[in-house]
Amino acid sequence: MDLWAVATLAAMLMLGAILTLYNSRQASALREMEQVLSDWYLMQVAERREKARQAVQVAYPLAWLGQQAGGVSLTGLERKLEQAQAISFLTDNATRLVVSPLSPDRLKRVLKPLEARNGKVANLVDPLLGRNPRKVQVEERSILNAGEWFDVEAGQVGKALGVNWGEPKRLYFYRVHLAEKKA
């Protein structure tokens, strides 16, 4: 009887080893198939986007920016800062809208040396984010909340306005309330 139990145990262990080997091979094949399907899907998406890219056109860049900022009406371009990749616009409700692909922390770091106070001249031009940057309202827009073609449209708008920010994954909209200057 002990011989029969040992033979059964050996057969069970051999069956377990065979199943483990078979399952590991099958898992490897499934991972390879997942990779192939993933590559195929990404290729299909890239091809579809490339075909449709020519159809995506932003006719009115200022209107597009105003819409992305929540329906703000832009009255004109105030200034462009190439180093900060930022564009500043005046709006019809006494605010300045600053648009940049740089996050708030990065934009502040880039602006710091550019806006260093240099005597009397520094008082003539307001800092890009105003005199109190903590009160600036920031809104982030990306493909997640602004549509599938956001990056392509943002690239077209940047090119139309003369800013080289490429096709950014996200844009930040900074609403700066303009303070009246004291006499």
Per-residue pLDDT, averaged over 91-100, amounts to 87
| Better-predicted residue by pLDDT, 179 or 55 | 55
- pLDDT-derived band of residue 149, with 50, 70 and 90 as boundaries? confident
Cβ atoms within 10 A of the Cβ of 80, count?
A: 13
- pLDDT-derived band of residue 118, with 50, 70 and 90 as boundaries? low
Residue 25 is predicted with a pLDDT of: 94
Burial of 30: CB neighbours in 10 Å, binned 0-12, 13-18, 19+: exposed
Residue 11 is predicted with a pLDDT of: 94
pTM of the model: 0.69
Burial of 176: CB neighbours in 10 Å, binned 0-12, 13-18, 19+: buried
Share of the chain above pLDDT 90, in %: 23
Indicate the average pLDDT of the chain.
84
47-57 pLDDT, tens digit per residue, is: 887 877 777 88
